[in-house]
Chain A
Amino acid sequence: QKEVEQDPGPLSVPEGAIVSLNCTYSNSAFQYFMWYRQYSRKGPELLMYTYSSGNKEDGRFTAQVDKSSKYISLFIRDSQPSDSATYLCAMSAGESAGTASKLTFGTGTRLQVTL
């Protein structure tokens, strides 16, 4: 079993839709949870960062972490064609916020938002 499982998609939605992206994990030591967005031919860039369980909202994006279920989600509201990218979840046990350096990634979900 992989440490982090993520549906690779592709996921195709119409513009304006709400998108739900998810990852499950098996390592209970993970406490830092991140979502990265990767456009074609680019490196990943950090989208959302959450420590431990809870929700975090940033504009159209909401990240949720449920440590009891070992399940994290990223919601995108009012999706736009510019949101078309691959979304990777990443996790770290990290001894402190400054050492969230050894990341374990999901495979990434490819999202296509159509007009």
Chain B
Amino acid sequence: SAVISQKPSRDICQRGTSLTIQCQVDSQVTMMFWYRQQPGQSLTLIATANQGSEATYESGFVIDKFPISRPNLTFSTLTVSNLSPEDSSIYLCSVVRYTEAFFGQGTRLTVV
């Protein structure tokens, strides 16, 4: 299994500001994944973060809005910038061990 510590667990932010979410894994992993889970929607992959290279973003997600850092093999951050109410969602980080994806507890973001 994998233990993933994600924080903050929730936050309320003003529009126009940014929120940085941290994800710490208990052992080294090559790839870390960031998902968004909107109410009534599927988990949607935002980007894949590899250590030592730029993140790979999925269609509809751009680096300026969702900058990602991956300074080492156990840690990553996702920043949601220039917040608007449409960014209110749950954000989750994930790693894959063999065939199983493990998730952090999620960060519930509310933009007011």
Contacts and interface: CB of A to CB of B under 8 A. Distances in A.
B41 A107 contact: yes
Contacts of B40: 8, 107
A37 B84 CA distance: 30
A42 interface: yes
Nearest to A42: B105
A46 B105 contact: no
Interface in A63-115: 88, 90, 97-98, 100-108
Given A97-B98, A101-B96, A43 B42 contact: no
A33 B37 CA distance: 19
Contacts of A8: 40
B103 interface: yes
The number of chain A residues touching the other chain, given as a range, is 20 to 34
Contacts of B96: 100-101
Contacts of A107: 40-42
Contacts of B98: 97-98
Contacts, number: 61
Contact of B43 (A32, A42, A88, A97): A88
A103 B42 CA distance: 11
A4 interface: yes
Interface string A6-44: 001000000000000000000000001010000001111
Nearest to A5: B42
A42 B45 contact: no
Nearest to A97: B99
A44 B94 CA distance: 10
Contacts of A4: 42
B83 interface: no
A8 B40 CA distance: 7
Q: Would you list the 7 A-B pairs with minimal beta carbon distance, nearest first? A: A43-B103, A105-B43, A105-B42, A101-B96, A97-B99, A46-B100, A43-B105
